Amino acid sequence: MGATFSLGRVAGVRVGVHWSVLVVFALITIGLAQGRLPRAHPGSPAWAYWLTALATAVVFLLALLAHEISHVMVARRNGVGADEITLWLLGGAARLHDEAPTPTAELRIAGIGPLVSLLLGGFFALLTWWTHALHSPGLLVEALAWLAGINILLALFNVLPAAPLDGGRLLRALVWWRTGNRLRATEVATGAGRALGWILVATGVYEALAGGFAGGLWLLLIGWFMVAMATMEGSQAKLRELLRSVPVRQAMSADPVTAAAGTTVREFLGGPPWRYRHSAFPVTDPAGRPVGLVSVRQAGQVPVEDRDSTSLDAVMVPLGDIPTAGPDEPLAQLVPALEASPARRALVLVDGRVVGIVTSSDVSRVIAWLTSTTPPGAGLRTARQ
């Protein structure tokens, strides 16, 4: 589930927001400002309801972020890198560089999120009691009570044993531990996720037809997202298994043509070393070390009158935003970062020097060869050998 826009970095992790979060934010704000708050505390001015609702929705999104940050922190402590979080309809998703090395590590990484939400629910419950005892404004007490309830509900919902929820990861860890088969465990978890998603869709349709349109629409939307995400997660797991034994060097284009950071856009677009060679080029500093990646499209967007005064380092994508890998690393480990990168390219480095470049098309080519040259049903066995 890709991010629609970015909120920056938290603890070194890029935080993105999917458009579905805007829907959640709007529904929470409207529901509180025009429903729960006026019913619980009538007589306040409209601006007070809306201001309280907006603040409560913001705090809720921060709680979701804390939930996902906890996954990243525990993943790193278990040897699994992570550099991006995307908040979406059901909470969020942390993009891990690789899968957990053991079922126990998977259990830790998955279990910390619901635990954090549960602790936040308890914290807000204590705040509710404290502010009520101090006779604080009723709207504040009501907002804290709502935050307590929603975080506890989020924790309980997330432990349902169905992907892509955290409970699906817990189920996957259990099946993996019992069977020793990671792919089989993923199939069980994603199958449960699709089943739960379709149950929610059917329930939502029934409720909408029975007169509860808003609640039914909400269930239908959640169910549809669960089916889509579980299906995508299952496909990605099969893809990772297929590519697990393929090193990056077998997919990369070796020794790509590079461009110096100080090269002007006019020189780049008209120079023989680059013209018609590729659609994107690594950008290097005077010592030959990579500092970014520039595409012909990016350079072409510079106004003609500015091309003599604009160098490539002003229009390139910085190296920090480009996935990198070593030539002997598993291609499966690079694919998630490659798919999430706006450049859709990764640089292959050895001792800080560019030795290759990998694109999404390169990965597709490898997959085409693997699926075409392997007998049906034997692809995953071959890939593991």
Q: Which residues are catalytic?
A: 68
DSSP E strand stretches across the chain: 5-10, 13-17, 82-88, 91-96, 253-254, 259-260, 280-284, 290-295, 317-318, 324-325, 345-350, 353-359
* Strands 82-88 vs 13-17: parallel, antiparallel or unpaired: parallel
Q: 5 forms bridges with which residues in the sheet?
A: 17
What is the distance between the alpha carbons of residues 47 and 51, in angstroms, rounded to a whole number?
Answer: 6
Nearest in space to 363 (alpha carbons), one of 319, 333, 318: 333
What is the distance between the alpha carbons of residues 213 and 207, in angstroms, rounded to a whole number?
Answer: 7
What is the distance between the alpha carbons of residues 323 and 317, in angstroms, rounded to a whole number?
Answer: 11
CB atoms within 10 A of CB 272: 7
C-alpha dihedral over 267, 272, 278, 280, to 10 degrees?
A: -20
Nearest in space to 203 (alpha carbons), one of 185, 217, 186, 187: 217
Give the number of residues written for the chain: 385
